[in-house]
């Protein structure tokens, strides 16, 4: 008897384009989601049930092209498929929708506050995050949560995302030598998680502090007529 599995007839991630090949027109569209992903890799280093895609195609319908948000977070999926990593995010393979989608508004408006927002609501994405670095009178960061089929703007900066267990927000900082407003992850208390660069700087400062304390102790012992080396 022939066993028919309709999933076997669908194209796999290896057969589908990984992006729509539309070039970004703003460096922030790569840098901001890249920073969020790098921070997650630190704070969730022991977890293997999440994936953060950057400029990666999400295939939701075999008859339609992929959507390519600037970033998205999925929970409850394998962090790594194999050593070749993911080529795209195919819903009929993953079986799990992204929990959060991020769009960074570029100089070319692409419907981030209208058509994309409506589409992600129809797709039932729980959180839709929009960051617009061009905004001056309104908040640059807007976080929407899907409630009863419609997106509701969440207040605050950062905004706590209980289903994710993290807060998301923006503040002024330095990343890759660039000082400006960046997006970060936060603890529930509102404390910001460090970036990889800040972790390195903090470790170096601690090492230097230990060395300074050791030097001061050695000088004090010498002033007392004690050879520090004789103590080891």
Q: Domain of 15: which CATH number?
A: 3.90.1570
The reply to whether 93 falls in a domain is: yes
Let me know if residue 216 belongs to a domain.
Answer: no
Rounded to whole angstroms, how far apart are CA atoms 210 and 230? 20
Instruction: Answer whether 0.85 is exceeded by the pTM.
Output: no
- Could you give the CA distance from residue 164 to residue 162 in angstroms, rounded to a whole number? 5
186 is a domain residue: yes
Rounded Cα distance between 135 and 196, Å, is 28
| pLDDT of the residue at 110 | 79
Question: Is 86 or 19 the better-scoring residue by pLDDT?
Answer: 86
Residue 131 DSSP class: E
- Domain of 51, in residue numbers: 8-193
How far from 124 is each of 25, 141, 145, 147, 227, CA to CA, in Å?
A: 28, 21, 10, 10, 70
The pLDDT of residue 116 is 95
Confidence of residue 45 (pLDDT cuts 50, 70, 90): very high
For residue 118, CA distances in Å to 85, 112, 113 come to 30, 9, 8
pLDDT for position 222: 67
Least-confidence region, from 101-115, 168-182, 191-205? 191-205
Confidence of residue 84 (pLDDT cuts 50, 70, 90): confident
Of the candidates 71, 78, 120, the residue with the CA atom closest to the CA atom of residue 95: 78
Tally of domains in the chain: 1
DSSP-assigned states of every residue in 27-47: THHHHHHHHHHHHHHHHTTT-
Measured over the CA atoms of residue 200, residue 156, residue 98 and residue 28, the dihedral's sign is negative
In three-state secondary structure terms, 100 is strand
Cβ neighbors of 4 (< 8 A, separation 6 or more) are none
Residue 203 lies in a domain: no
Query: Is 134's pLDDT higher than 80?
Result: yes
211 pLDDT higher than 70: no
Residue 140 DSSP one-character state:
S
Under DSSP, the state recorded for 120 is H
Q: Over the Cα atoms of the chain, what is R_g?
A: 23
> Is residue 209 domain-resident?
no
Q: In percent, how much of the chain has pLDDT > 90?
A: 65
């Amino acid at each position: 008897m022939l066993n028919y599995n309709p999933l076997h007839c669908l194209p796999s991630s290896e057969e589908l384009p990984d992006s729509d090949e539309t070039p970004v027109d703003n460096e922030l569209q790569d840098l901001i989601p890249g920073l969020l992903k790098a921070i997650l890799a630190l704070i969730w280093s022991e977890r293997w049930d999440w994936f953060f895609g950057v400029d990666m195609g999400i295939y939701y319908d075999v008859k339609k092209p992929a959507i390519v948000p600037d970033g998205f977070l999925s929970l409850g999926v394998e962090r790594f498929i194999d050593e070749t990593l993911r080529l795209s995010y195919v819903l009929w393979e993953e079986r799990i929708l992204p929990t959060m989608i991020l769009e960074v508004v570029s100089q070319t408006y692409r419907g981030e506050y209208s058509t994309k927002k409506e589409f992600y609501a129809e797709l039932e994405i729980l959180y839709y995050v929009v960051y617009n670095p061009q905004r001056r009178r309104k908040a640059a960061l807007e976080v929407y949560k899907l409630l009863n089929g419609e997106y509701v703007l969440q207040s605050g900066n950062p905004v706590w995302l209980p289903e994710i267990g993290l807060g998301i927000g923006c503040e002024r900082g330095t990343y890759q030598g660039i000082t400006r407003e960046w997006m970060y992850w936060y603890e529930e208390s509102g404390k910001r998680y460090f970036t990889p660069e800040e972790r390195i700087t903090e470790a170096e400062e601690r090492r230097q502090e230990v060395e300074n304390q050791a030097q001061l102790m050695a000088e004090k012992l010498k002033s007392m007529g004690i050879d520090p080396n004789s103590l080891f």
